[in-house]
């Protein structure tokens, strides 16, 4: 399978996963007595020379349970700037071309007892090609049993492919989702992986299968946690705790997050890139 067909296969999967996630989140809203639904906004990316560079669709819902949830898919191509090309796997100032397709999700919840969450998976091609992604849980009020359930489901997804994956990718997430200037982690972790390179059809099939299982694991476990906590009562102090935690989340995404940087450096849709920011936060 050539790179173009690989990209199309990954794109088709990401869009299918988007549709199923959004349907599940809307079902949760119905269970809460809300008629909130996703609004979808397509966007196009123009390259530096004025040619079409792909685009994507931003999906956004603001409801009773999900205060703000974005589920975005995009497929873009073009060339990296000379200053940025050398920072990307397989790219260089002499060969700056790329294609990228992926899904990105961030959910900020109304109830501070319901954990916020981030998930993304992606397929990139430069002079090489690879999958990356992961999922991590971000509760303002952590519950040990929720953390265990989330990690157990990701552990099972990893174990089906490689016995070393979970420990490696959990460690990567713990190191990546850390706010150095605060000295704290952004949440309770999950898995983070990158550069699962696809040098031939067998490696593409293997890494694509793993990436699909990461998406399935997220779709399985996260709605369970939402339904478990969304009916809990909360008080003003707990809401303030959530808003202060959201400030930390925003700091990480604006200062350290590689996905935010990639989107901004490649001329992506600004609203889609910054959909990860919470609808409300405080700094005290």
Active site residues: 118
Which are the contacts of 199, defined by CB distance < 8 A and separation ≥ 6?
A: 128
Tokens, residue 93? 């100032």
Phi (first) and psi of residue 139, to 5 degrees = -80, 130
Beta strand ranges found along the chain (DSSP E): 39-46, 52-61, 66-79, 97-109, 116-125, 129-138, 178-179, 184-185, 189-197
Q: At what angle do helices 201-229 and 3-31 cross, to 10 degrees?
A: 10
In angstroms, the CA 41 to CA 240 distance is: 32
In angstroms, the CA 177 to CA 151 distance is: 15
CB 185, CB 177: distance < 8 Å: yes
Query: What single DSSP character describes residue 274?
Result: G
């Amino acid at each position: 399978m050539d790179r173009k067909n690989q990209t199309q296969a990954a794109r088709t999967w990401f869009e299918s996963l988007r549709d199923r996630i959004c349907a599940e989140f809307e079902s949760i809203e119905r269970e809460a007595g809300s008629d909130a639904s996703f609004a979808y906004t397509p966007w196009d990316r123009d390259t530096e020379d004025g040619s079409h560079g792909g685009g994507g669709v931003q999906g956004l819902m603001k409801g009773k349970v999900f205060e703000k949830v974005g589920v975005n898919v995009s497929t873009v191509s073009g060339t990296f700037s000379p200053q940025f090309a050398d920072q990307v796997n397989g790219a260089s100032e002499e060969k700056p071309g790329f294609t990228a397709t992926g899904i990105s999700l961030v959910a900020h919840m109304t109830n501070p007892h319901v954990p916020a969450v981030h998930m993304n998976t992606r397929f990139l091609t430069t002079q090489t090609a690879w999958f990356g992604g992961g999922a991590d849980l971000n509760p303002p009020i952590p519950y040990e049993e929720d953390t265990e359930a989330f990690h157990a489901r990701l552990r099972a997804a990893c174990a089906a492919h490689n016995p070393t994956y979970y420990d490696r990718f959990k460690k990567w997430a713990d190191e990546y989702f850390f706010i150095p200037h605060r000295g704290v982690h952004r949440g309770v972790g999950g898995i983070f992986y990158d550069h699962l390179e696809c040098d031939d059809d067998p490696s593409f099939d293997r890494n694509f299968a793993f990436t699909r299982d990461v998406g399935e694991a997220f779709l399985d476990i996260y709605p369970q946690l939402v339904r478990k906590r969304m009916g809990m009562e909360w008080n003003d102090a707990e809401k303030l705790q959530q808003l202060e935690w959201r400030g930390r989340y925003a700091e990480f995404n604006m200062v350290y997050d590689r996905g935010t940087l990639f989107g901004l450096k490649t001329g992506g849709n600004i609203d889609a890139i910054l959909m990860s920011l919470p609808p409300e936060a405080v700094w005290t």
